[in-house]
Amino acid sequence: MAKLASAYGGKSFDEAVSFFRDKISMPSEHWDDLWKGQHAKGFMVAGATKADLVADLRNAVDKAIAKGTTLAEFRKDFSSIVEKHGWAYKGGKNWRTRIIYKTNLRTAYHAGRYKQMKDPDVTALRPYWQYRHGRSVNPREQHLGWDGMVLPHDDPIWDIIYPPNGWGCSCSVRTLSKRELNRMGKTEPDKAPELEYREWTDRDGKTHQVPKGIDPGWDYNVGKAQERSYKILADKFETLPQDIAKTWHKECMAGPVFQRFFDGKIKGELPVAVLSESEKQALGTNTQTVWLSRTTLAEHKIKHPDIGIDDYRLIPELLESGEVYQQGDNRLVYLMKKNRLYRAALKRTKDGRENYYLTLFETTEEKAQKEVREKYRRVR
């Protein structure tokens, strides 16, 4: 697992690579700024808040997953990144790099394996999953107890104990056919164990019920969580200060995730910009994040084929520096002169909880004057 590429005969583990590349880079102060399944949609390194620093760390991890970079090689990349940015991180270098490297490789691996194992053709032939202990030097008692356990692939307990189940956990899951189950001397799968729980209090004083044998925040299925939309991160987007949020959105739009979204490899909605307080007030919305749906983008690519990805990557700048006009109670219209005169629009949902980007196309000064400037009230 340390080398995902070599583990597959020198070929890239495509499902693992896709899982990681679909993550949105997030600035963070603490390891639990993202919680449970949020880690399946967001990439973060505790203490890394600068967008360009997070981007460089992400690229180093991506190389490790896609090309099989060793831990020693990753440490060299890490040192160069730290020196470049002057990052004063906490903890020793060996410990910190091991955590970043192994956590990301193992979660990507298990997310990829989950996608493979849940393929309908695979579950039809191999409907059972067996928990395998990773032979750690200091094993967790519960993980040893689960070793060899065979359960149906759709048993609800996999939502909690699907590996990895904590920092440094090297457990895994393999598929079994009915014939293999019988060869083990079993006529039917095992019964899922009754989990015991303990209380754990986070740094904000909130108490969580955590299954024994699983580290806080790890009691989720990374494979299943990858299927969720980026809305799982919505509350995190809203807590970002305006200046950090704007910088982060620009970085996100310029990065690989938006490229994959634009190419149709990511479905659902993607956050593309952040509203200022004056825009929020004019729009009557409670949130600062602006979402773009894959459906809307697909429709507009057909309707306005002259508007390409570089144009869409201007969305954060358009909202930050363009002319803003209010159209009714729930819509804003934007104009911005760049290499061409852009017209864009967004709206809020009826409940005021979400904002969606609607249009982006080229217009003329004559149309802009008649259809926007003379028609709607200017906000900025």
Percent of the chain clearing pLDDT 90 (strictly above): 89
Residues 139-185 pLDDT 10s: 899 999 999 999 999 999 999 999 999 999 999 999 999 999 999 99
Q: Binning pLDDT at 50, 70 and 90, where does residue 350 land?
A: very high
Side-chain-facing half-sphere of 90: CA atoms under 13 Å: 7
Mean pLDDT for all residues in the chain: 94
pLDDT at res. 5: 46
Whether the per-residue pLDDT at 136 is higher than 80: the answer is: no
Cβ 73 vs Cβ 79: under 8 Å? no
65-69, 195-199, 217-221: least confidently modelled range: 65-69
pLDDT at res. 8: 38
Residues 286-311 pLDDT 10s: 999 999 999 999 999 999 999 999 99
Whether the per-residue pLDDT at 133 is higher than 50: the answer is: yes
pLDDT at res. 301: 96
What mean pLDDT is predicted for residues 81-102? Answer: 96
- More confident position, 267 or 151: 151
Q: Binning pLDDT at 50, 70 and 90, where does residue 22 land?
A: very high
pLDDT at res. 6: 43
What mean pLDDT is predicted for residues 361-378? Answer: 97
What tokens appear for 296 in the block? 């809307």
Residue recorded with tokens 């149709």: 264
The Cα diameter of the chain in Å comes to 80
Which has the closest alpha carbon to 273: 258, 286, 292, 255? 292
Q: How far apart are CA 324 and CA 329, in angstroms?
A: 14
Whether the per-residue pLDDT at 68 is higher than 50: the answer is: yes
Residues 213-233 pLDDT 10s: 999 999 999 999 999 999 999
What own/partner pairs with CB < 8 Å and gap ≥ 24 does 337-342 have?
338/314, 341/365, 341/368, 342/311, 342/314, 342/318
pLDDT at res. 241: 87
What mean pLDDT is predicted for residues 235-253? Answer: 88
Whether the per-residue pLDDT at 10 is higher than 70: the answer is: no
Q: Binning pLDDT at 50, 70 and 90, where does residue 4 land?
A: low
- More confident position, 251 or 331: 331
Residue ranges of the domains in the chain? 1-117, 121-223, 230-378
Residue 86, sorted as left (phi over 0), alpha (psi -120 to 50) or beta, turns out to be left
12-16, 125-129, 182-186, 336-340: least confidently modelled range: 12-16
Cβ 354 vs Cβ 291: under 8 Å? yes
Q: Binning pLDDT at 50, 70 and 90, where does residue 12 land?
A: low
Whether the per-residue pLDDT at 323 is higher than 90: the answer is: yes
Query: What is the pTM (predicted TM-score) of this model?
Result: 0.90
